[in-house]
């Protein structure tokens, strides 16, 4: 059975702060890949840019990564000494690096185990903010 490998770009407007839908604001885009045996990685990149501009930048980053295929760069800091691009995880890494270093995207991190809830009590006379944190519980058994 052949494993599927692919670079998948999800154009998600996960957070938008601005005047209207897809107008200039701070947008976060998800870029991910799936490779053999379930290997998966994703990055959230943010910038005050419209989706169409992000897509143009993404094509430029892909072309950059493609230009590195099979080449061994010994003195380039952004690749690392003796680094060569030969497989999907390396293409992905160079796409993300290109967007962050050359196009000024910000890599964003999302912790889905913590959330903050805002509520009002006493008919709006008191505002309360609570933090909810999901914790994993491990149990050890002697068999």
* Tens digit of each residue's pLDDT (9 = 90 or more) over 25-41: 789 999 999 988 888 99
Comparing 17 with 98, the larger pLDDT belongs to 98
Highest mean pLDDT among 10-19, 70-79, 105-114: 105-114
* Structural domain contains residue 23: yes
* Structural domain contains residue 114: no
Domain count along the chain: 1
**pLDDT band with cut points at 50, 70 and 90 for residue 99:** very high
The pTM of the full predicted model, rounded to 2 decimals, is 0.65
Kindly report, residue by residue over 51-94, the tens digit of the pLDDT.
999 999 999 999 988 887 766 666 554 554 445 566 788 888 88
Comparing 102 with 4, the larger pLDDT belongs to 102
* Structural domain contains residue 53: yes
Comparing 3 with 84, the larger pLDDT belongs to 84
Q: Mean pLDDT score of the chain, rounded to an integer?
A: 77
Give dist(CA 60, CA 127) in Å, integer: 47
pLDDT of 112: 87
Q: What is the DSSP string of the chain?
A: -PPP-EEEEE-----EEESSTTSSEEEEEEEEEE-GGG-EEEEEEEEE--HHHHHHHHHHHHHHHHHTBT-EESS-TTT-TTEEB-SHHHHHHHHHHHHHHHH--EEE---TTEEEEEEEETTTTEEEEEEEE----------
* Structural domain contains residue 121: no
* Structural domain contains residue 140: no
Domain hosting 77: range is 6-108
């Amino acid at each position: 059975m052949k494993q599927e490998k692919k670079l998948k770009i999800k154009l998600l407007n996960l957070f938008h702060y601005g005047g209207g839908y897809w107008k200039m604001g701070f947008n976060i885009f998800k870029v991910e890949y799936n490779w053999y045996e379930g290997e998966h990685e994703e990055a959230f990149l943010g910038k005050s840019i419209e989706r169409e501009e992000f897509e143009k930048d993404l094509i430029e980053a892909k072309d950059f990564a493609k230009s590195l295929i099979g080449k061994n760069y010994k003195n380039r800091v952004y690749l690392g000494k003796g680094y060569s691009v030969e497989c999907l995880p390396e293409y992905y890494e160079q796409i993300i690096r290109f967007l962050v270093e050359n196009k000024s995207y910000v890599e964003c991190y999302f912790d889905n185990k913590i959330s903050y809830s805002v509520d009002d009590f006493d008919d709006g006379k008191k505002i309360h903010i609570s933090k909810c944190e999901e914790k994993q519980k491990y149990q050890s058994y002697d068999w």
